[in-house]
Structure 1
Amino acid sequence: MLTALLFDLDGTLTDTDTLHLQAFRQLLREHDGRELTQAQFDAQVSGRANGPLFADLFPQASTVDCLALADRKEALFRELAPALEPMPGLLRLLEHAEVNGIGMCVVTNAPRLNAEHMLSAMGLGARFEHVLVAEELARPKPDPLPYLTGLECLGADAGQALAFEDSLPGVQAANGAGIFTVGIATTQTPERLLAAGAKLVVNDFNDPQLWAVIDTMRG
Structure 2
Amino acid sequence: MIKAIVFDFDGVILDSERIMYLVMQNMFQRYQVDLPLSVWSQAIGTQHGFDSLGYLEEQGDVKIDREAFQSERYALFNKLVDQEEVLPGVKSVLSQAESLGLKIGLATSSRGEWPRRHLKRLGLSDYFLSIKSWDDVERVKPDPALYIKSIESLGVQPKEAIAIEDSFNGSLAAKRAGLYCIVVPNAVTKRMPFGHVDGCFNSLKDVSLDKLIRYFTPKVNK
TM superposition shift of 1:17: 2.2
Cα 1:52–1:71 change in 2 (3 A) is farther
Letter in 2 for 1:175: K
TM superposition shift of 1:111: 2.4
SS of 1:6 mapped into structure 2: strand
Letter in 1 for 2:39: Q
Letter in 2 for 1:160: E
Q: Residue in 2 aligned with 1:189?
A: 190
Task: State which structure, 1 or 2, has the greater radius of gyration over its C-alpha atoms.
Answer: 2
- State the identity %: 25
1:58-207 alignment runs, 5 A limit:
58=54, 70=70, 72-186=72-186, 187-189=188-190, 192-194=193-195, 197-207=196-206
The farther-off stretch of 162-171 and 178-187 is 178-187
SS of 1:174 mapped into structure 2: helix
SS of 1:188 mapped into structure 2: coil
* Cα distance in 1 between the residues matched to 2:129 and 2:204: 20
* Cα distance in 1 between the residues matched to 2:67 and 2:137: 17
Alignment check: 8 A CA contact 1:202 1:210 kept? no
Alignment check: 8 A CA contact 1:27 1:72 kept? no
SS of 1:53 mapped into structure 2: coil
TM superposition shift of 1:124: 1.6
TM superposition shift of 1:70: 4.9
Cα 1:191–1:20 change in 2 (3 A) is closer
Cα 1:103–1:66 change in 2 (3 A) is farther
Structure 2, unaligned stretches of length 5 or more?
Answer: 58-64
TM superposition shift of 1:82: 1.6
Q: Residue in 2 aligned with 1:213?
A: 212
Letter in 2 for 1:136: D
Q: Residue in 2 aligned with 1:48?
A: 46
TM superposition shift of 1:8: 0.6
Cα 1:148–1:71 change in 2 (3 A) is farther
* Cα distance in 1 between the residues matched to 2:214 and 2:70: 41
- What are the Cα deviations for residues 172-198 of structure 1, in whole angstroms up to 9, with x where unaligned? 10000011110112133377122xx21
* Cα distance in 2 between the residues matched to 1:190 and 1:200: 15
SS of 1:126 mapped into structure 2: helix
Cα 1:34–1:117 change in 2 (3 A) is farther
TM superposition shift of 1:206: 2.6
Alignment check: 8 A CA contact 1:183 1:190 kept? no
Give the aligned length: 209
The farther-off stretch of 147-156 and 79-88 is 79-88
Letter in 1 for 2:128: F
Alignment check: 8 A CA contact 2:93 2:207 kept? no
- What are the Cα deviations for residues 58-107 of structure 1, in whole angstroms up to 9, with x where unaligned? 389xxxx8687656533432111123222322212111222232111111
Cα 1:105–1:24 change in 2 (3 A) is same
The TM-score normalised by the length of structure 2 is 0.79
Cα 1:182–1:70 change in 2 (3 A) is farther
Cα 1:66–1:125 change in 2 (3 A) is farther
* Cα distance in 1 between the residues matched to 2:90 and 2:213: 14
Q: Residue in 1 aligned with 2:18?
A: 18
